[in-house]
Structure 1
């Protein structure tokens, strides 16, 4: 039996129809030849072989959510609180470990920066939650942004602590750049807001992230991961990188020009109800392909989905065994039962993509919930002598290691004092 698609044409319920479910209907436009044969209908739907005998590179831009699910990668059923995202620094052993929690001087720098940024961006709320507008309201927004930029340019940082002053000055420079980009955005789109390009939102988000001292790669290179013998490529809109070697990824960012649909107000946010399968599939693929360079180890990859000025933080958690199966077979059997070990007696579902509720970074209320998290990440990416160092106190991992080996966790002087008391 044939079924009609949305354009009224008939299509056969064949293998190609199944292929459309995991790649999207426009995948058919890029197939190279009728002669393409498949090693696996899921991981390699059109493993077209050129005269060189090499498989054609596949792009995650064509993935649907169902494609990721065939690999055992699923979005959580509802949003996770952003405070849970700090735990990625404690659950994963990484070579360049993330500092958490901040204490002492580090905490002072974090708190001062967060307060400073919140105050400097406070007036963006006057844009009535949406800079994409026209007419008199648009002209009002332009004049308001011009005043914000002027005030920022005339700001003076009165801070005797030269180390802290360096961080504040760096952030102030980025705030000025953000207002400059926002002003350009408003002027360019005053008369034709319907023609706003995704690249406009991408540039605006990049400048916002840089305010929080994040190292943003605006021209990310293609990354390739082989899945069931097929090179699979990803080029997200932005990458947030660890500045020391330029390769390690803090997070991958995908930006869309669409506004985020509103879900039911009486329910907890569910990403599947407000974003289409193409966006979810593409972002899942980007997280997967970038896992090998993740700052948090190959089993955890941080990301951001941005719809105009609204951002959702994402986190793919996947076990090494799960990753091996994806690379070797593409399709993962019993995918919902895959587990990843967190501790000796603990295991959680592997292949889960956690996500937060949406935050509009031009709305003060939303922005104030995420600024600290972004600054916390940003302070880890600062290069050179200004990159934060762990306090001299023993880390949790060192304590656990010493406890396991039966070693004393006190200094020599402390041990002598204890012996005296005993």
Structure 2
């Protein structure tokens, strides 16, 4: 990895390199760049800029998404069109799969478990293939006359473009994972198909790299995937959510209730993802207008490690964004950049587990409705 642009040369508080980045913000100064460009800041450098991960995760993806409501984001909190589609996904995808790193128990080896899991997935795909709108009508609202045409169209899209695509990619991912030949690209495609199944349109992150001048250097961002609003204004696409840090490598994470962002340390995904959020916030859909003191922006993200996904949201004031962009290598306190901005995050959701997927369907369908301007 290249030497970073910026380097901490003075710190008022000592920095322990093993300390998680969410602790009390350190102040210091940043000197001129060593190289003209870097792809991401380290978590300690985000800390100096006042970008802090929260100490505790929020209680769920739904809670994280509700942060947009104060931005008048028009993401429906509840919709008669969303809950029925979430129930359809639950109905067809009611299976768990395994990582196949070790035997499930003394009497079951990895090959046996793999065959059982693949058979369960294929049974679900067969159930979806044979289903019609009438056979799943009981999963929808009692009175669907108002939205029947919409629900019929979405059912067909979920059935063919969604469930089949995700199911087939999941079997391929499991096969590669069992053989030990899976890689970041295979993992990335699996998450892409999962998000597509939930109604989101995605583009490769490399299709538009973002950059920001911090001090005398340029920081660049290379997210894996980007979800943008269908509405294009002034030839500028606004971001709904970005996906960064899709890594196949294994990280032993604690239980869902005990997870903290520091559990990803020392992996570079923390700094990389924070940089992606910082650079993307300039083009976020979610903005609160007002003067410089009151204006704020919010951007959603997701970082994927193995088969687990952690959803994030950076909430940042316009004044803080401007202060970071205007940084010229002086002490942050001298520049007045003493405010902080929070990066909220959820606990990890494992897309191999039916219960975890079930918690994601409705919030992600809400994002999809916002992306496609469906109310």
Whole-Å separation in 1 of the counterparts to 2:358 and 2:317: 33
* 5+ long unaligned stretches in structure 2: 1-5, 18-27, 103-109, 138-144, 288-295
Are 1:177 and 2:189 matched, yes or no? Answer: no
Aligned counterpart, 1:197: 183
* 5+ long unaligned stretches in structure 1: 1-14, 25-39, 49-55, 340-349, 390-422
Are 1:66 and 2:44 matched, yes or no? Answer: yes
C-alpha RMSD of the superposition: 3.1
Give me the TM-score of the superposition, normalised by structure 2.
Answer: 0.76
Relative to 1, partners in 2 of residues 1:334 and 1:135: Cα closer, same or farther, differing over 3 Å? farther
Relative to 1, partners in 2 of residues 1:189 and 1:270: Cα closer, same or farther, differing over 3 Å? closer
Give me the TM-score of the superposition, normalised by structure 1.
Answer: 0.68
Aligned counterpart, 1:309: 307
Instruction: Tell me if structure 2 keeps the 8 A contact 1:64–1:279.
Output: no
Which residue of the other structure, out of 251, 264, 270, is the alignment partner of 1:280? 270
Aligned counterpart, 2:25: none
Are 1:256 and 2:247 matched, yes or no? Answer: yes
Once the two structures are superposed, the pairs formed by residues 6-405 of structure 1 within 5 Å of their partners are 42=30, 44-46=32-34, 48=35, 56-60=36-40, 63-82=41-60, 83-92=62-71, 97-102=73-78, 107-123=79-95, 125=96, 127-128=97-98, 130=99, 134-158=110-134, 161-173=148-160, 174-190=162-178, 192-193=179-180, 195-221=181-207, 222-245=209-232, 247-254=237-244, 255-263=246-254, 268-276=258-266, 278-297=268-287, 299-329=297-327, 332-333=332-333, 338-339=338-339, 350-382=340-372, 387-389=373-375
Whole-Å separation in 2 of the counterparts to 1:335 and 1:285: 21
Higher relative contact order (CA 8 A, sep 6+): 2
Whole-Å separation in 2 of the counterparts to 1:101 and 1:143: 37
Residue by residue over 1:165-221, the C-alpha shift from the partner in whole angstroms, topping out at 9 and shown as x without a partner, is: 11222122211111121122233444x22x320111110011011111011213532
SS at match of 1:109: coil
Whole-Å separation in 1 of the counterparts to 2:252 and 2:353: 17
Relative to 1, partners in 2 of residues 1:360 and 1:44: Cα closer, same or farther, differing over 3 Å? farther
Q: How many residues align?
A: 321
Q: Which has the higher strand share?
A: 2
Residue by residue over 1:110-142, the C-alpha shift from the partner in whole angstroms, topping out at 9 and shown as x without a partner, is: 11111111111112x1x24x3667433223333
Q: Higher Cα Rg: structure 1 or 2?
A: 1
Relative to 1, partners in 2 of residues 1:274 and 1:224: Cα closer, same or farther, differing over 3 Å? closer
Whole-Å separation in 2 of the counterparts to 1:119 and 1:236: 32
